């Protein structure tokens, strides 16, 4: 049974369907990449799965339990955590405190002490030396790590990462990509990641789903998806697909 399943998810804003009937099944322990042109509805999809937005119709299941319609904090309690495309650290708290807030959930799940869990997660993402600083003093890479640590500290089954790698220089991107893999490998967390940085998506993902205009237009291994004419057309416009040789 897939650990996370979205069934015919739809989200309309006024007349516009940002997400228009998306089915998604995420297997436990995999890293699923979600790509698509700008405005394809990827972030909205994440918001629906994480409870930040209520779906117009459709459902979301976590380990067979319905989580759609639950408020965001309940979805977190159930086991789905997300990061934001534009990072939103708590500016009035230190890095460690940022993560501790989230660790209150995670610790409840594992029976450990929130502070200890927070310290462990902060160390895991490589911010141990900046734990007492405020996110405002960190670089973007640092703030992305804070965001990541915060999501991780809630002890999720599934982690939804929204463009964690975009905007970083190659060295930072490499390190963060490595971190994502470690999250899956060492902590056993299933990862779904939206990403524009193709190299990262190809390298990290076990499978990739492609969205365009709110619909899933392709799904498969990274190599398959990249050659899919529909995908090429979505990114490069019609006519380009004809030039792709399988």
Partner 1 sequence: MTGGRRRPLPAWFSGRVAAGLAVAVVVLAVLPVALDPYTHNLLTLTFLAISGALAWNWMGGYLGQVSFGHAAFFGFGGFVAARVLLHESIPPWVAWAAGAAAAGLFSVGAYPILRLRGPYFSIATIGLGEASRIVFTYLEGFTGGASGLSLPIDPDLKARLYWWALGLLALVAAASHLIRRSTLGLELLAIKSDVEAAADAGVPTALRQDVVLALSAAVAGATGGLSASFFAFVEPNDLFGFDRSISFVLMAVIGGVGSVFGPVLGAVVFVALRQWLVASYPQLYLGLYGGLLILIILFEPLGLTGVALRVARRFGYRARPDLALGSSAARPGRPASEAR
- Where does this chain bind partner 1 (CB under 8 A)? 50, 52, 71-74, 76-77, 81-82, 84, 88-94, 97-98, 100-102, 104-105, 114-115, 134, 150-151, 154
| Nearest distance, CB of residue 95 and partner 1, angstroms | 11
Measured from the CB atom, is 72 or 203 closer to partner 1?
A: 72
Name, in order, each residue with C-beta under 8 angstroms of 150's C-beta and a sequence gap of 6 or more: 83, 89, 98, 99, 101, 102
Residue keyed to tokens 């200890």: 116
> Cα–Cα distance between 184 and 197 in angstroms, integer?
19
Q: Which spans in 81-192 are helix H?
A: 95-110, 114-124, 140-153, 170-187
Measured from the CB atom, is 77 or 244 closer to partner 1?
A: 77
| Nearest distance, CB of residue 169 and partner 1, angstroms | 25
Measured from the CB atom, is 121 or 232 closer to partner 1?
A: 121
DSSP 109: H
| Nearest distance, CB of residue 132 and partner 1, angstroms | 9
| Nearest distance, CB of residue 105 and partner 1, angstroms | 4
Q: Please state, as a whole number, how many other Cβ atoms lie within 10 Å of the Cβ of residue 126.
A: 15
Alpha-carbon Rg for the chain, nearest whole angstrom, is 18
Measured from the CB atom, is 23 or 97 closer to partner 1?
A: 97
Q: Which spans in the chain are helix H?
A: 42-50, 72-78, 95-110, 114-124, 140-153, 170-187, 198-204, 222-227, 229-236
Measured from the CB atom, is 59 or 115 closer to partner 1?
A: 115
Q: Which spans in 21-94 are helix H?
A: 42-50, 72-78
| Nearest distance, CB of residue 101 and partner 1, angstroms | 5
Name, in order, each residue with C-beta under 8 angstroms of 41's C-beta and a sequence gap of 6 or more: 11, 18, 19, 20, 22, 211, 213, 214
Q: Which two tokens stand for residue 221?
A: 């291994």
Measured from the CB atom, is 50 or 208 closer to partner 1?
A: 50
Measured from the CB atom, is 90 or 213 closer to partner 1?
A: 90
């Amino acid at each position: 049974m897939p650990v996370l399943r979205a069934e015919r998810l739809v989200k309309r804003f006024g007349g516009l369907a940002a997400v228009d009937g998306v089915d998604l099944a995420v297997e436990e322990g995999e890293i699923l990449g979600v790509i698509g042109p700008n405005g394809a509805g990827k972030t909205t999809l994440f918001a629906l799965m994480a409870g930040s937005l209520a779906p117009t119709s459709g459902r979301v299941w976590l380990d067979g339990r319905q989580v759609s319609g639950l408020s965001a904090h309940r979805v977190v309690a159930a086991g789905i955590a997300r990061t934001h495309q534009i990072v939103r650290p708590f500016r009035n708290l230190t890095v460690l405190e940022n993560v501790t807030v989230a660790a209150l959930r995670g610790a409840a799940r594992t029976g450990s002490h929130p502070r200890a869990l927070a310290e462990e997660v902060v160390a895991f993402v490589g911010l141990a030396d900046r734990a007492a600083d405020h996110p405002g003093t960190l670089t973007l890479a640092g703030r992305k790590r804070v965001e990541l640590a915060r999501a991780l500290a809630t002890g999720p089954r599934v982690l939804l990462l929204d463009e964690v790698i975009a905007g970083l220089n190659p060295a930072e991107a490499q390190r963060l990509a490595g971190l994502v893999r470690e999250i899956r490998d060492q902590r056993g967390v299933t990862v779904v990641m939206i990403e524009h940085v193709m190299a990262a998506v190809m390298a990290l993902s076990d499978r990739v789903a492609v969205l365009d205009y709110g619909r899933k237009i392709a799904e498969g291994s990274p190599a398959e998806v990249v050659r899919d004419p529909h995908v090429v057309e979505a990114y490069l416009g019609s006519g380009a697909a004809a030039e792709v040789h399988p």
